[in-house]
Structure formats: C-alpha cells, structure tokens
A and B are shown apart, each in its own frame.
Chain A
Amino acid sequence: MFWTSYFLAVLALVLAWPVPVLLSRAAWPARAPFTAMVLWQAIALAGGLSMIGAMLVYGLEPVGDNLIAGLRALAGMVLYNEPTTALGFWHLFALSAAALLSAHLVFTLLLTYVKIERQRRRHRELLALLASPSADGPGTVVINHDSPVAYCLPGGARSVTVLSDGLMARLEPAELRAVLIHENAHLSQRHDLLLWAFAAWRQALPWFPTTRYAQLAVNSLIEMLADDVALRSESKATLIKAIALVAGGASSAASDGPAVAAPAEAGSLGTGSFSAGSFSTGSFSTTGGADSPRTTASRVSRLLSPEPPLKPAYRALVLAASALLLAAPTALLIVPGLLG
C-alpha cells in the first residue's frame, strides 16, 4: 500500500515535469503527429490519475490493505459515522486534497466546455447575420473582411468554416481548396475535443509545466494532422503558398494598417468600413500570443524539408508506451483490491 502511493507520486512527478519537457523538445512528433497526440493524451490522463491515486492510496493506508478496501472503510466513516481515529492528520489532509483535486478537474472541464460553447454560440449568431454563404459548399461562409482569414467554428452539425473576402481575393482556387480541406480535417477529426480537453487541463493546473507544454504541442499537432489531410489532394507547393499568403497577408495588414487594404472587389461596403476593419486588426494582431508563431514555423519547415514518417516499429513502441502509461497506475490502484 505504501509503495503503491510512493510509486504513483513518482510517476505523477515524472509526468508533470521531465517527460513533457523532453517530449516538447523532441523532433519525432512532426514525423508521427498522430502517435505523438496519443502519447500526450496518455501523459495527461496518467498524470492526473497518478496524482489523485497517490494521495488517495496514502490517505487510506491505515484503514485498508488496498484501494477498494480503503474506500469501503472510508464510505463507512462518511455514511455511517464509524470512528475515524485510524486516520491521522496527514491521511485526512491527503484524502481531502485528492477529493478537492478530483472535483477541481471535473469542474474545470465542465466550466471550460460551457465557456467555449457560449463563445461559439455567440460567434455563430453573429456569423448568421454578417456572413454570406459561399459557393464552396454547405457549411462554408464568407465574411466581409480584408485580412486573409480562414478558420472553422466546430459545433457538430452546425460546424462552419469561415473565409474572408481578403483570403478569397488573394488565393488561387487550388490554394483555397487546400485551406478548405485543412479546415474540414479539423472538423471531421474532432480536433475541438482535443482543444477543449487540453485547454481545460491547462486551466485547471496552470502552474504545471506539463499542461502548458501539452497544450502547445496539441495546438501544433492538430495543424500538422490537418496539413497531412490537405496534402493527400493538393500539392505541397500549393499548401506552402497558401500558408505563406495567409501568414504574410495577416501580418502586413496588422503592421501597416489601412494602407494595405485589399482590393475592394467583393465588398458591398464603402471604404470607411474597410479602414475600420484594418485598423482594429492592427490593434491586436501585433500583440498576438507567443504560442502560435512556433506552430506556423514548425509547420512550414516540416513541409519544406520533410523527413520520412517515423518507422512503424517506433510508432508501435510509442503506442505501447502510451498504453502502459495508462495501464500501470490503473492496475496499481485496482488489481490489489481484486486479488485481495
């Protein structure tokens, strides 16, 4: 029982700091984004499980030989007022911390979901009034804005991909197709679930290195996965050009302000609205977060000087390690109870 909690605590520590640091510096995730994504999820889940498990097992040590017996004894104390004298101060402290952390994690996950959904609903409402349907198919709309912007707003059947006039004006049809396939890949592979889970994970434990590294890695990996889908039907040069046009255009619009307003061919609005749009772009893009640039850089370098995909044997190894990461704490927590 003691050794179990000791092992789980060590595992939690290792997964909270050295492992994510090393993994975030590794080069191989760009060669196997899907496998790397599985590993990040395993690290997050196993990390949370071993953190809570370590405290739980330590706290229950005096009242049970294993977790299940301990929980049964605890239930007796809580529900039937059985004596709690077996538990010392630190045991009670650990149990309370485990309960608080569990509640905190679940609560943050739900709260993040509600927040994201609220923002998406508001965004969808405004899109319904401001954007016009696009010729590129259902679920694609065009918004009147001269910066080159493309994004998707996930929402199940109401998912929508948004393109700006500025983007349509600058991109060739093939480049536009690459952008659309990229965005649709985000939607069809349900990347919104990953974004949600890892945003909540970081929100819940912002001071843990693992949560920040994990979120950055996941943000970058989903872009690579979507790029890979686009590469199946469009050429590498097309995708690179689309990325360069969008990135370059967004930045120049941001730094030079209204001077570089795009050709107003698609606009039904006067020039006043264009300068208003560009101006507000300028005021926030320059302060953009430090997180995303690295994503764009690593995406482009990955496309420019591609390395061969990770060998199947290595990928299998990583997947096995991910499975083990999840299985080890689970087994430690449950198997002694089943055997005893």
Chain B
Amino acid sequence: MASLGELERAVMDLLWAGQEAATANTLRDLLARDSEAEGGSAGHQGKDLAVTTVLTVLSRLEKKGLVERERGTRPHRYQAVSSREDHTAELMHEVLGSAPDREAVLARFIGSVTESEAATLRKLLGEH
C-alpha cells in the first residue's frame, strides 16, 4: 500500500462490499489479508499497516463525507454513507445534468440532445 489515496480506495471498497459497519481493527485485518492474498512485495507492507494509519484514512474519508461513524459504540464502527452506485449516479448527474453553474466544470464529448435530434443521428448512423 503506497499512498493514502490507494488506501482510501481499498477501505471504501471494503466498506462498500461489506454489509455492516466495521471497526478500524477489522478493516486493518481485512486490508492485511487482501494484500497477503495478492502476494509479492505488497504482502509484507500490508502486515505492517498500523491501525492508526487506517484511522487516518477513515477520518479523511469522513471529512470528504464518504464515511460515517457510529457514535454510540467504542471502538468506533465505520460505514459508507452511500453505496458505490449512488456515488456513481451522483457523478453522472453532475456530468449529464446541465445546471448552468456546472457548465464550466467539465467538458463533455456530447452535450444533452433532444429526442428528435437523437433520432436524426441514429438514422444518420444507419446510412454510414
């Protein structure tokens, strides 16, 4: 596990895959197991992964609004705020939606098209 970014991704993958909230300890064990399963040089690094590192990653994810902490329990248990699909949908909403203040955020290959225009394009596609 090289960077915090990669760890964030791995932690989110675990949280998205799991049904229940998990503690930092559980996550650390799962991460270590995963990197062992991958084998190679990544394996021994995974074993060295400290719980504090996992907690750092979790707090970063919490700040980004991706992970939430169950308040009542100790040690804290963490879970994903929304599913991977919901986040993808959120992204695509930002991409495909055409709020005027979002127009400058990214450049789409094709803007939104009307149904009649799409039909014309499909017809055109048949000709080519």
* A41: Cβ under 8 A from any B Cβ: no
The 8 Å CB contact of A129, one of B8, B85, B101, is B8
Assess the A128–B5 pair: CB atoms within 8 A. Answer: yes
Shortest beta-carbon contacts, A-B, top 9? A292-B111, A288-B112, A251-B118, A289-B98, A199-B104, A150-B109, A195-B104, A244-B121, A280-B89
Assess the B111–A280 pair: CB atoms within 8 A. Answer: no
Bound together, the chains give a CA A162 to CA B113 distance in angstroms of 20
Bound together, the chains give a CA A155 to CA B93 distance in angstroms of 20
Stretch at the interface among A75-83, A91-99, A116-124, A308-316: A116-124
Bound together, the chains give a CA A292 to CA B109 distance in angstroms of 11
Please report A residues at the B interface, Cβ cutoff 8 Å: 112, 115-116, 119-120, 123, 125-130, 143-145, 147, 149-154, 162, 179, 182-183, 186, 191-192, 195-196, 198-199, 202-203, 215, 219, 222, 226, 237, 240-248, 250-252, 255, 269, 272-273, 276-277, 280-281, 284-285, 288-289, 291-293, 295-297, 300, 304
Q: How far is the CB of A207 from chain B (nearest CB, A)?
A: 14
Assess the B96–A183 pair: CB atoms within 8 A. Answer: no
The 8 Å CB contact of B96, one of A149, A269, A273, A276, is A149
Give the residue name and chain of the A residue nearest to B98 (CB): A289
Please report B residues at the A interface, Cβ cutoff 8 Å: 5, 8-9, 12, 64, 66, 83-98, 100-115, 117-119, 121-122, 124-125, 128
Residues of B within 8 A of A293 (CB): 111-114, 117
A interface: dominant SS: helix
